[in-house]
Amino acid sequence: MSLSPRDLAGCLLDAGAVRLQPMDPFTWASGLKSPIYCDNRQLLGIPAMRDQIVATLAARSLALKPTLIAGAATAGVPWAAMVADRMKLPLAYVRPTPKNHGMGRQVEGPLAKGHRVVLIEDLISTGMSSLKCAEALRAEGAEVPAVLALFSYGLPEAEAAFASTGIRLVVLSSFEVLSAEAQAREILDTDGLAALTAWRSDTVAWSRAHGGA
């Protein structure tokens, strides 16, 4: 059974995959401060949720008519592997940059040339790492109609980046849906929602105002 965007938002909150701390922000690897942190790897440990998510990813992928499923390393790879298995399609995975040893490959697995590829990602923030993977597939001669992700922060820079490449971004659930579900569960109050909205409109300025990079 496929999950609705609200169902998936509920799964993310139930699993602790998304945490909201507007008043005690997280520090991302980049040094930026953020009121939200997403770790979709938590969902891999919950078989019932995992199965529903894979079914939903497969259904959305089917509509794009792929001949190969690719996973963006590293967090997109397990989801891509399960989707490819369910759809009985070839599987590849893609690094944001080529290896600096061995064959120096960026796309691992079957050659992507001539394939119509759906690239699966677990999370979209700025979108740059996902688009680097998509461009690597294109460089091998693949058609990449879309990147399919479990969740996106919906940052303006990501939307602009995808629009500039002509690659469609398809997400199973969104920042808006998650925020509404968190409010419905009384996890997020009005002040918290205001903080999240301000952060999303200008992540750098919000981070600096809260002691981050």
For the residues 33-48, what does the mean pLDDT come to?
Answer: 94
Determine if the peptide bond prior to 74 is cis (ω within 30°): yes
Strands 168-174 and 143-152: parallel
Please give the average per-residue pLDDT across 103-110, as a whole number.
85
Note the pLDDT of residue 96.
83
Give the mean pLDDT of 144-170.
95
pLDDT-based confidence at residue 62 (cuts at 50, 70, 90): very high
Domains of the chain: 5-209 (3.40.50.2020)
Cite the DSSP H helix spans in the chain.
5-14, 47-62, 77-87, 128-139, 156-165, 175-184, 190-201, 203-209
pTM for the complete prediction? 0.93
Predicted pLDDT of residue 104 = 67
Q: How far apart are CA 186 and CA 129, in angstroms?
A: 33
The whole-number pLDDT of residue 169 equals: 97
Cα 87 from chain centroid (whole Å): 20
Which whole number is the average pLDDT over 57-81?
97
Report d(CA 118, CA 64) in Å as an integer: 7
* pLDDT for the residue 1: 67
CB within 8 A of 88, min separation 6: which ones? Answer: none
